[in-house]
Structure 1
Amino acid sequence: MALDPVQLATFQAVVEHGSFDAAARALHVTPSAVSQRIKALEQVVGQVLVRRARPCEPTAAGRSLVRLGGQVALLEREALDAARGGLSGHARTRVAVVVNADSLAGWFLPALTALPDVVFELHTDDEGHTAELLRAGTVMAAVTAERVAVQGCRVERLGAMRYLAVAAPTGHAAWFTGRDPAAAFATAPMIRFNRKDTLQHRFVRTVTRRDIDPPTHFVPASASFTEAIRLGFGWGLVPEGVARADIAAGRLVDLTPGRHLDVPLYWQYWRLESAVLAALTAAVRATAAVALR
């Protein structure tokens, strides 16, 4: 049995807006109509698709339909725009993308200027976890560390972000000067973005061949992360472009000159013949070719 496009669009609205009432307002129908459509869709699929919570979330069975609903909406918008000769009124295509925080704070945003008629919904997560939103159908594309394509997606290698281990001059003198690296890294305060952030631990293993558990500060914003290091809270890995400018200015010290950590990044996006996704992919590819190694 074919899926009803109205029911599918209603399901998409419930997931996007987080409740039956909010979806009803967005669709200009009653909450009862939304409920009836979702129940009818669940009967067709034979599975519960929406977890009735606050906010409403798709079940495991519903996730594939989230992506399908988004793909249908994107293609419908592009088809309507083409039929109207590129004049679709004030409505703009919305594209949801997830990007790791350092890319978002650094090289990624300039790529989006190539698509001035697109409305972007940007999400952030650790580069090792960004593909999860792609699997869930929440986003159409992702900058990710995962090189294996998510089902239904294409993957392209973008390059690598290089990180340097740095500390403020006072921290370098207090924690590292004249000390064995293994002992220094084991006790020097560390700064991490969040608990998903394992870059510092990965780097230390390449230097000392040991696992460490030092005192740790969590600072979940790229600019604040670097500022915390400048202020002497601890050491951490900073993108090369930012780190080298601060090292040259004397604000930071390179803890291990000649050593670094390269994080390969990939662009994963829906396997869909979409003009918008094709244009976005070309823009991201071109920007990354200049900004990444």
Structure 2
Amino acid sequence: MEIDGAQLAALAAVVDEGTFEAAARRLHVTPSAVSQRVKGLEQAMGQVLVRRSRPCRATDAGHALVRLAGQTALLQSEALVAVRGVTGAAPRVSVAVNADSLSTWFPAAIAELPIRARLDLRREDQDHSAELLRDGSVMAAVTADPQAVQGCRVRPLGAMRYLPVGSPSYVTQWFGGGLDPAALAVAPLLTFNRKDALQVRFLRQVSRRPLEPPVHYVPSSSAFVELVRRGLGWGMVPDVAAAPLLADGELVVLAPGRHLDIPLYWQHWKLESAVLDALTTSVVAAAREVLHGP
């Protein structure tokens, strides 16, 4: 059977934008037209493809079609440029990137991209970004998952090294007697969000037992580093971000010689796409300048 292109685009727009109204604005049609197109596709497929929630979400069956819609749109825009030289047809490329990569090495990759594209960057923890590839939400991702998602290629990027750091006054106050489990159990720490497991991993590495110290949630890479510098708590900071503050004496390492290396991988749809190829080349090159290994 053939899939109607307008119906497929409507489904993708609803899932991407979250509502039928927003999808209608993106497609320059009425919400009723979007609804009719999605219903028509569901009738053709014989099952529900999108959950009418806030925001709207694709069903398992819908994910496969959302992914198809993205692949079709990407290849179509590249074909228009190649065949007709359409200057306004720059492809839209959605990419999931963890916050620490986004605030350190990743901007260099996209700033030097030699091909025109409309980027849609989505911040997601490296331990969870592969899920966005699986459901078709993004075309590529920086992820901690070395196993290629079905229909994707995977490339090792290297490891981001995290150092346990705090301000000198904080370390003196809380760890003056040493970095022992008793002190770690009560010393405040910073965590990016509830998906961030770096601090927990370090605690387990040092204490060998579960600890529940006071936690501050700070969902911003720059604010995270700044608040560690100001003594709100200790935290795991990428070595590239910590280096100048360590050199100036504004931060100190809690446990010299200890660190966490988080291997990162680049996964992208397995398509013959000039944009994805160029992006992959830029991402791998930028990662090698900062990350350890691979």
Aligned twin of 2:41: 41
**1:288 has 2:274 as partner:** no
- SS state at 1:187 partner: coil
RMSD: 1.4
| Cα-to-partner distance string for 1:34-70 (whole Å, 9 max, x where unaligned) | 2222112111211101112333221222111111100
Per the TM alignment, residue 135 of structure 1 is displaced from its structure 2 partner at its CA by 1.3
Aligned twin of 2:21: 21
Aligned twin of 1:209: 208
- SS state at 1:158 partner: strand
Aligned twin of 1:269: 268
Q: Structure 1 CA distance, aligned partners of 2:261 and 2:7?
A: 46
Q: Structure 1 CA distance, aligned partners of 2:30 and 2:247?
A: 62
State the one-letter code of the partner of 2:268: Y
State the one-letter code of the partner of 2:166: A
Per the TM alignment, residue 245 of structure 1 is displaced from its structure 2 partner at its CA by 1.6
What aligned pairs does 1:41-60 form with structure 2 within 5 A after superposition?
41-60=41-60
TM-score by length of 2: 0.95
Per the TM alignment, residue 180 of structure 1 is displaced from its structure 2 partner at its CA by 4.8
**1:72 has 2:78 as partner:** no
| Cα-to-partner distance string for 1:127-171 (whole Å, 9 max, x where unaligned) | 111111111211100001111111111111100000111111111
Closer, same or farther in 2 for the Cα pair 1:235/1:26, shift >3 Å? closer
**1:5 has 2:12 as partner:** no
What aligned pairs does 1:54-133 form with structure 2 within 5 A after superposition?
54-84=54-84, 87-115=85-113, 117-133=116-132
State the one-letter code of the partner of 1:216: V
- SS state at 1:244 partner: helix
Aligned twin of 2:196: 197
Aligned twin of 1:186: 185
**1:243 has 2:253 as partner:** no
Contact preservation (8 Å) 2:229, 2:250: yes
Q: Structure 2 CA distance, aligned partners of 1:225 and 1:173?
A: 20
Closer, same or farther in 2 for the Cα pair 1:245/1:31, shift >3 Å? closer
Unpaired runs of 5+ in structure 1?
none
State the one-letter code of the partner of 1:289: R
Give every structure 1 segment of 4 or more consecutive aligned residues whose post-TM-superposition deviation is greater than 6 Å: none
Unpaired runs of 5+ in structure 2?
none
Q: Structure 2 CA distance, aligned partners of 1:172 and 1:24?
A: 54
Contact preservation (8 Å) 2:125, 2:196: yes
Identity of aligned residues (%): 58
Closer, same or farther in 2 for the Cα pair 1:47/1:173, shift >3 Å? same
Q: Structure 2 CA distance, aligned partners of 1:59 and 1:104?
A: 29
Report the more deviating stretch, 187-196 or 8-17: 8-17
**1:169 has 2:161 as partner:** no
Q: Structure 2 CA distance, aligned partners of 1:204 and 1:22?
A: 44
Q: Structure 2 CA distance, aligned partners of 1:201 and 1:21?
A: 41
| Cα-to-partner distance string for 1:228-266 (whole Å, 9 max, x where unaligned) | 111111111111122222111110111111111100000
**Matched residues, number:** 291
State the one-letter code of the partner of 2:275: V
